[in-house]
Amino acid sequence: MVTAPRHIPVVADRVLDLLEPAVLAADTPVLVDTTLGLGGHSEAILERFGEVRVIGIDRDGDALRRATARLEPFGDRFTPVHAVYDEIAEAVRSVGVARVTGVLFDLGVSSMQLDQAERGFAYAQDAPLDMRMNPQDPLTAAEVLNSYEERELARVLRDYGEEKFARKIARTIVREREREPFERSARLVELVRDAIPAPARRTGGNPAKRTFQALRIEVNDELGAYERALPAALGLTEIGGRVVVLSYHSLEDRITKRTFAAATTSTAPPGLPVVPPEHEPRFRLLTRGAERASETEIAENPRATSVRLRAVERIAHDQR
Ligand SMILES: C[S@@+](CC[C@H](N)C(=O)[O-])C[C@H]1O[C@@H](n2cnc3c(N)ncnc32)[C@H](O)[C@@H]1O
């Protein structure tokens, strides 16, 4: 099988190096891959660590099926779970595990989802405005475009797409949907291009990129789910266990940075001569700032271009 470069798991060696000390220290190491996708990272983990068991979560049933087939050679060392990652505690419990050795988040859409044009994630191809990671979920991108109030639409485009012309685009969408509801992506791409001022069209790639990102985040409640999932993952991690996150845009990375900062900072009031144990941080940072991929990796795998990696290790129990 020829593997296209975009299917290579991102910064996989660094992810494995970060997880290794936790795996070596554990009696029965269990890692959770919360974003299984095509199983690239899980496969690398199962190959490198002979004793590890991997629980692989994905909300996309198709991805889960494909990854499960790929990981079949590892037998019962791999367990797939169809869930949204904010259900990580239930998912882990459902397969009889109480605490985990490590958790990996490789956020966003997979190359497979982008390649399946009919799912509507890629603005470069005309397709139905769907964008659901789990096709059983009720809300589609078309539904957002055709039913949200103008102010709500502008908020989605501004907050999730960091789109400067959010109000203008939202106004144009509302006007245009009166003529005919939105169904396919080409019309939206054209509308966004026409709605923004000509000089802005010439910089920063396809102007529809930010609108598509915003719709995808809204349709899948990506930031809400992640904001709930990361603390839940930290809560499940045993002492010496590690949580590694790969984010691809600043909104996700901000949540990671904020959550890790809170977990790795003492909660003692400033100036206490001795910090009582209940105020000691429960985690320590393993990365300085956000790590990026090397130029060599980016040249081989364009998906690595925007990755930001952060990781922490648990050093103390939660206080009760
Ligand atoms: C970037 S891909 C992961 C690729 C994978 N690491 C690999 O090497 O093949 C992200 C995957 O996470 C899944 N995903 C995104 N948000 C999710 C969520 N909230 N809950 C569960 N899975 C999610 C997507 O369906 C997608 O398959």
Q: Residue 4's pLDDT is what?
A: 39
pLDDT of 16 strictly over 90:
yes
**Sorting pLDDT into bands at 50, 70 and 90, what band is 320?**
low
Q: Residue 206's pLDDT is what?
A: 86
How confident is the model over 60-97, as pLDDT tens digits?
999 999 999 999 999 999 999 999 999 999 999 999 99
Q: Is the pTM of this model over 0.85?
A: yes
How confident is the model over 234-283, as pLDDT tens digits?
999 999 999 999 999 999 999 999 999 999 998 888 888 888 888 889 99
Q: Residue 155's pLDDT is what?
A: 98
Give 36 Cα–ligand 1 centroid separation in angstroms.
Answer: 5
In CATH, the number for domain 117-220 is 1.10.150.170
Tell me the domain boundaries of the chain.
12-106+222-314, 117-220
How confident is the model over 297-315, as pLDDT tens digits?
999 998 899 999 999 999 9
pLDDT mean over 127-146: 96
Give 84 Cα–ligand 1 centroid separation in angstroms.
Answer: 9
| Whole-number Å distance between alpha carbons of 239 and 136 | 37
pLDDT mean over 22-32: 97
Residues with CB under 6 A from ligand 1: 9, 35, 37-41, 57-60, 63, 84-85, 106, 108-110, 133, 225
At the topology level of CATH, where does 12-106+222-314 sit?
Rossmann fold (3.40.50)
How confident is the model over 149-205, as pLDDT tens digits?
999 999 999 999 999 999 999 999 999 999 999 999 999 999 999 999 888 777 778
Tell me which residue has its CA closest to atom 8 in ligand 1: 40
Q: Residue 294's pLDDT is what?
A: 97
Give 52 Cα–ligand 1 centroid separation in angstroms.
Answer: 21
pLDDT mean over 219-247: 98
Rounded alpha-carbon distances, angstroms, from residue 288 to 30, 52, 261, 285, 308: 26, 27, 12, 7, 11
Tell me which residue has its CA closest to atom 12 in ligand 1: 35
Give 25 Cα–ligand 1 centroid separation in angstroms.
Answer: 27
Tell me which residue has its CA closest to atom 16 in ligand 1: 108
Q: Choose one of 36, 45, 62, 309 to mutate for the ligand 1 pocket test, by most ligand atoms within 8 angstroms of C-beta.
A: 36
pLDDT mean over 1-11: 62
Tell me which residue has its CA closest to atom 2 in ligand 1: 110
pLDDT of 5 strictly over 50:
no
